[in-house]
Structure 1
Amino acid sequence: MAGPRGEYRKSAERRAQILEAASTVFARTGYSASSVNEIARVVGISQTGVLHHFAGGKPALLQAVLEQRDARAEDRLSGRHGREFLAGLVAISRAQADQRGLVQLYRLLAAEATDPAHPAHEYFSTRFRRIADAVTQAYREVADAGGLRPGLDPRTAALRTLAMTEGLELLWLQGFEVDMAGDIADFLDAHLTDPLARG
């Protein structure tokens, strides 16, 4: 007989399946054109079954998908500072080369969420500011250690880095031959007195 642990495991597995389906559906059709029914069909359960795990419906699914993506990226950056933090950005880009669907989902949602009425507007607004602040801090730490090229402002360097990363992802999705990790590493190196370790 399955005990509480067995039931919890099944529930966690079902949530993971629903999140995977939501990622796929959102990436394929965008958030606005997607439905909970469509996500339920992908999983092979009823809409009620989806809502049992995500009572907030489609907005709750969107939030969970975004948080899962960010949590994976933040794990890679945990405990890193200065140059090591910047190297972590390269590692994230390298990992995303095998996650086309997830990158496409993020691009679609980030564009949709420029509308202040979009349910993810505040999420993306806060997220971009948080990333910009974290990268700025990393550049400041590099500057304090004498590793930033003379005349470069850490905040300006951070915003350029963010723009470069976002733009490369879009070009990659459009089929351009770009090496996201390599190109971002080259861009970062142009700001530093010594290049980052590769590999």
Structure 2
Amino acid sequence: MPGPRGEYRKSAQRRAQILDAAFEVFSRSGYTASSVNEIARQVGITQTGVLHHFAGGKKALLQAVLEQRDARAEGVLERRTGRAFLAGLVEISRAQASQRGVVQMYRHLSAEAVDPEHPAHRYFRDRLRRIAAAVEGAFCEVAAEGGLREGVDPAQAAQRTLAMTEGLEHLWLMGHEVDMAEDIRRVIDEFLVEPLPSAPDRQDPDAGEGA
């Protein structure tokens, strides 16, 4: 049945184009100042065409864009535990250094979503709680293996790791020269008995001197 399969493929491609356009528009203007018409113009179709694929309009587009991005990040952490999970957080930050638009969109939208009336408020609130619980769980797993330094509390370690991640992303977007991945790795290392490995193509400037 080549016809239906062909139509399904075209529909999937159009949805992907609309999501790419929504991502670009949300990144540039934020959610509040964006419109379905603007997204439609970006793709070269009508507003009705967008609503054909996303019946919920702008809210549905926002949800789809956020879920698409998170799915990619969560794929890095899938089936990882303990130290491997923490190393995955560093890998995600390293990948984001080449995805400025993604980071910018999240910072923009998360700032807007502080308002409880914002349509993404619950999404960002639940997402942050979910991530904090997962990072705390990883630190607990490391602790169970004797890999945390004495006196380190997994919950506090998770909060500090997330706070540093958020802060570094903001500094980076504002033009500060920071290495998000390596700086986050160093923060995590403060809690560990054995440090996480540096990036393969880098050498930690604090290592090797005086050895």
- What is the match of residue 189 of structure 2? 189
- What is the match of residue 83 of structure 2? 83
- What is the match of residue 203 of structure 2? none
Amino acid in the other structure paired with 1:76: V
Amino acid in the other structure paired with 1:31: Y
TM-score (norm 2): 0.93
Superposition RMSD in Å? 0.9
Taking the TM superposition and a 5 Å limit, the aligned residue runs for 1:26-105 are 26-105=26-105
TM-score (norm 1): 0.98
How many Å separate the matches in 1 of 2:148 and 2:81? 14
How many Å separate the matches in 1 of 2:31 and 2:174? 20
Compute the displacement of 1:2 (Å). Answer: 5.0
- What is the match of residue 156 of structure 2? 156
Amino acid in the other structure paired with 2:18: I
Unmatched 5+ residue regions in structure 2? 200-211
Compute the displacement of 1:197 (Å). Answer: 1.7
Q: Deviations over 1:15-60 (max 9, x none)?
A: 1110010010001011000000000000010000000000000000
Compute the displacement of 1:121 (Å). Answer: 0.5
Q: Deviations over 1:149-189 (max 9, x none)?
A: 11010000001101100111010000000001111111111
How many pairs were matched up? 199
* Identity rate, percent: 72
Instruction: Classify the secondary structure of the residue corresponding to 2:11.
Output: helix
How many Å separate the matches in 2 of 1:50 and 1:73? 26
Bigger Rg over Cα: 2
How many Å separate the matches in 1 of 2:156 and 2:187? 13
Amino acid in the other structure paired with 2:66: L
Q: Deviations over 1:64-115 (max 9, x none)?
A: 0000011001000001000000000000001101110111000011000000
